[in-house]
Amino acid sequence: MSDSFATLETLNFDNSYTRFPEHFFHRITPEPLVDAHLISFNPEVAALLDLNPCEINPSDLASYFGGENLLPGSEPIAMKYTGHQFGYYNPDLGDGRGLLLGEVVNQNGERWDLHLKGAGKTRYSRFGDGRAVLRSSIREYLVSEAMHGLGIPTTRALCLIGSTQHVMRNGMEPCAAVLRVTPCHIRFGHFEYFYYSKQHEDLRRLADYCIERYYPDVKDAENPYLAMYQQIADRTAQLVAQWQAYGFVHGVLNTDNMSILGETFDYGPYTFLDEYRPDFVANQNDTTGRYAFKQQPDIVQWNLTALAESFLPMVGEEDLKDVLRAYSHKFVAYRNARLAARLGLQTEQAGDAALIENLLTLFAEHKVDFNRFFRTLCDYEGAGAARDALYQFLCDITALDHWLDQYDERLGAEAASFPIRRQQMRSVNPKYILRNYMAEEAIREAHDGNYVLVNQLLGLLRHPGDDHPDMQRFADAPPDWAGAICLTCSS
């Protein structure tokens, strides 16, 4: 093995968060899973940690991330935070089933949090058992790689660990654990905890830590705390813009599920829309539709407002309001930029916003499978070309023809030839998207002890724009039974 590689035993830990006072967290070791075994391993994430994927022993992964042994240098903690859940403040939150094992610094100086989800009870578990089940663990493991493949900021995962242990969820279900890897596990709710508990000195200490570690470029700003908040708001606007551009529904957009880095965080009952339905609610527990697809941009702004309130001891109210006022414009600009790229538009023209809105209206009226539509549009050559391949997506051919006439005219303002445009469009329009039925198939097989599909989907979703002839069926329309899949907070 090359000297440039680390092993699991020689990872370079530097656990900066544990240097805070201990009321910031709870020190506790993982509870071992029964008969822990490796289900899947992500070599790309291993490389981020300086690990050689070819040299890692599966039994070591199961031992360390099934909770039997601690990685040398790790210092497991459950982080304390609070947050607004479905609009109501909850002071009793914290890492209830996951532990921050430690922070690994790689040879490039990048710092990566290792977070074990499903590690057992902590003082923040409330009435829970601290476990994650195989169903939800597979969903998080796969979607984090799917989002990365789409270029959407997200946490990722090193491995998925299974167990013969069972807990009660939808009946008795097998336990599992995911080793989540990301630069940051600090949530909006961390700031809310110190603000609402009136620990303002600790609030400023946390903010200083975040500036030093995540936003060092704002140190010299007139007010570094305001400058950091501006960047958090901007990153978050970009994030939700990409969700809307690809039809991703988070499902539980509570403030404790919002990362200060603008990453997709804490996957629960998520969905990629099979049909473009703005009112779609992914989470069956969300009876009021608070987190419906069309609501996400406004809910994110609501969450940013909650974060802004937590910044009041450090930043003037009007300055924070100015940032929030700019959010809606930024969101629309970011969303339209991504949708313009999906349409193959490389220049910006005055009528682009109307062209995009007209298309989204068409999608909504006819419940179009819009990710498949965009992929098919990649092969549309423009004015004079046959449109038959696009007609399959909606019954009202006249309405589609009207929009395509506008699109043809707009393409006339582009200098790129069709082959160049097609190549660019395919780079942002996936052939494969993680639909619920795909995850459900993998879950059903995994419950029978067959993990082949989990690993096949991992590779497929890592490169969703490529042709995978042996996986072609996942590029087709979803089966009829897909619509009956029910997701809840336990998903």
Tell me which residue has tokens 């403030």: 255
Specify the higher pLDDT residue, 165 or 127: 165
Q: Which tokens hold the place of 189?
A: 């709710």
Contact 48, 106 (CB under 8 A): yes
**Average model confidence (pLDDT) across the chain:** 97
Give CA separation, 338 vs 213, 323, 335, 352, 408, in Å.
29, 22, 5, 12, 19
What pLDDT is recorded for position 2? Answer: 46
CA contacts within 13 A on the Cβ side of 474: 28
Reported confidence tier of residue 1, pLDDT bands at 50, 70, 90: very low
Residue 256 appears among annotated catalytic residues: yes
pLDDT digits (tens, 9 = 90+) for 264-292: 999 999 999 999 999 999 999 999 999 99
Cross-strand pairs, 116: 99, 179
CA-to-CA distance for 421 and 344, rounded, in angstroms? 6
What integer pLDDT is reported at residue 3 of this predicted model?
A: 59
Can you tell me which residue has the tokens 């193959």? Answer: 344
Query: Model confidence over 232-253: pLDDT tens digits?
Result: 999 999 999 999 999 999 999 9
pLDDT reading at 491 higher than 70? no
What contacts 33, CB < 8 A, 6 or more positions away? 66, 67, 68, 118, 161, 163, 165, 175, 176, 177
pLDDT tens digits along 424-456: 999 999 999 999 999 999 999 999 999 999 999
Measured CA to CA, the distance from residue 431 to residue 14 in angstroms comes to: 40
Which percentage of the chain shows pLDDT scores above 90?
Answer: 97
Look at residues 120, 126, 133 and name the one whose alpha carbon lies nearest to residue 172: 133
Q: Is the pLDDT score of 398 beyond 80?
A: yes
Residue 275 token pair: 């049909």
Q: C-alpha 269: how far from its chain's center?
A: 12
Give just the sign of the alpha carbon dihedral 444, 446, 449, 451.
positive
d(CA 41, CA 46): 8
Residue 256 sits at φ, ψ, to 5 deg, of: -80, -5
Res. 163: pLDDT tops 50: yes
Residue 465 has pLDDT above 60, yes or no: yes
How remote is the C-alpha of 135 from its chain's centroid?
A: 17
Over residues 148-177, mean pLDDT: 97
Alpha carbons 208 and 314: distance in angstroms, whole number:
11
Given 50, 95, 113, 256, which residue is catalytic? 256
N- to C-terminal Cα distance for the chain?
40
pTM of full prediction above 0.95? yes
376 contacts: CB under 8 Å, gap ≥ 6: 389, 390, 393
pLDDT > 70: what percent of the chain? 99
